[in-house]
Amino acid sequence: AAPVAHTRPNSIIMAATASTTELEAQVQALSTAVGRTLTRERPLRVTCVGAGAWGSVFVAKLKQQYEATGLVQTTVWRRGGRVVSKEAAARLVDIINGNERVLRRLRDSCSVLKYIEARLGDRELTADEILRDGFCLNLLDEPLCPLSVVTNLEEAVFSADVLINALPSTETRNVFSRIGKVLAASRKTQEAMPLVISLSKGVETLAEPYPHLTTPTLVIAEEANVPLDRVFYFGGPNIAREIWQGEYATARLCGAATTGEALAEFLRSPSLIVWHHEDVITHEVLGGLKNVYALGMGIVGAATHDSATSKAVYFSNAAAEMVFIAQLLAITERDLLHGPLIADMYVTLLKGRNAWFGHQLGSGALRAADGDYVPGKGLIQGVSAVHAFHALFSDERLEIESEAKGTVRPVAMLPTLSALQRFLSHDGEIDDAVAEFMAAMKDQAAVDPGRTLKLLAPPSFHLLPACATEARQ
């Protein structure tokens, strides 16, 4: 049967509560911060690099909010040529038939027939083609508004005033290296560089000149030569589908105050409240860390038929390790447990794609050996984050003084992280992998993790690059 369209308020309705005059003022304020003179002939140009579920929803909400002003032009870049499967095409036909508003829109633009032909196997659809009609390949059953999509990266970013990084963290370096060459050719001064908002949650581990982490915002600044005070991180307890449906939500835009306040105001809508915060690295690193432990929550859920008690025990262990890791990164416990950070961890463990992926692995529906890209879901960033954090804390140059184990490498204090690394590397029967993981979750020493995960002295090493540490101070 065709799906029935949801009845919850869509963001187009929510955005209508802000007057055009108010929206124009927000655009003008951001244009001033960017250093642009704004006209309807030369609107503010916002380009989203990447077209996963969150990136597509993010730019679609901006388009709907500001379209009536004529002062904002939105564009999405995604790689061309990705063919939509016949199964996905069949699903799209059902979705279109079940949503009268979408059906009328596609009929009026003479676009319905191509979906029927693809359903019958008479032609192919591509991911960029359906995104122009408002269908994101990773969020098919939640039609968005039509979007302007280009597949040429140079065309997409050449004159952009605001760039949105919606790429997986593992792809950010490569793509922004290319973007850096385009920006160098099109910008005369550093002040003319675009503002960059990174939605990406993940980390890289670098071994030289000392073991440390780097993050997407730092990679963007390095590869694209964009000043750090023009690069921001956006994060919060947000599920893309629910944000598009108009669910009330909060988030933080983290970065320099000079332009950050105007940018946060620009991103804010009646249904998505955006606060400005200056600490980028804390939010960005912990945004990647919670994806690590979300995988384990899914495995535990699959192994125990979603036992609330078992999941609560796991959450307790995971939270203790996250607090310990935060100490190693010189992040205070107050920062970790404050506002959107703890809420982001909660929603990710509850309903995020990493928890979903862990559940699929734990049930045997998917195998880790098949890779971390899932059609219809996109890249599961928790997998690379597990390997990155495990590699960092296993480095022989890092030693800590612990109350429970004396002088050890940090990884020795992190049984859940170690168990996740072993689980993802297991090449045998899934039942054996799950049993080993669940055994590792059980306390063998009968000692509260709050006591075992205790440092006798602050770490003697720094796990973030100097520029990140300076930016936090």
Please give the positions annotated as active site.
Answer: 290
Q: At 235, list the tokens.
A: 């994060």
Which H or E run includes 407?
strand 406-408
Residue type, 279: D
Task: Decide if 388 contacts 203 (C-beta within 8 A).
Answer: yes
Count CB-CB contacts under 10 A for residue 447. 11
- Closest by CA to 324, choosing from 410, 210, 445, is 410
Contact partners, residue 80, CB within 8 Å, separation at least 6: 126, 128, 151
> Which DSSP letter does residue 140 get?
T
- The single residue listed with the structure tokens 């890779």 is 371
Q: At 61, list the tokens.
A: 């909400």
Which H or E run includes 384?
helix 381-394
Reported residue count of the chain is 473
138-141 long-range contacts, CB within 8 A, separation 24+: 138/52, 138/53, 138/56, 138/376, 138/377, 138/378, 139/53, 139/56, 139/57, 139/240, 139/241, 139/244, 140/88, 140/91, 140/92, 140/95, 140/376, 141/3, 141/91, 141/95
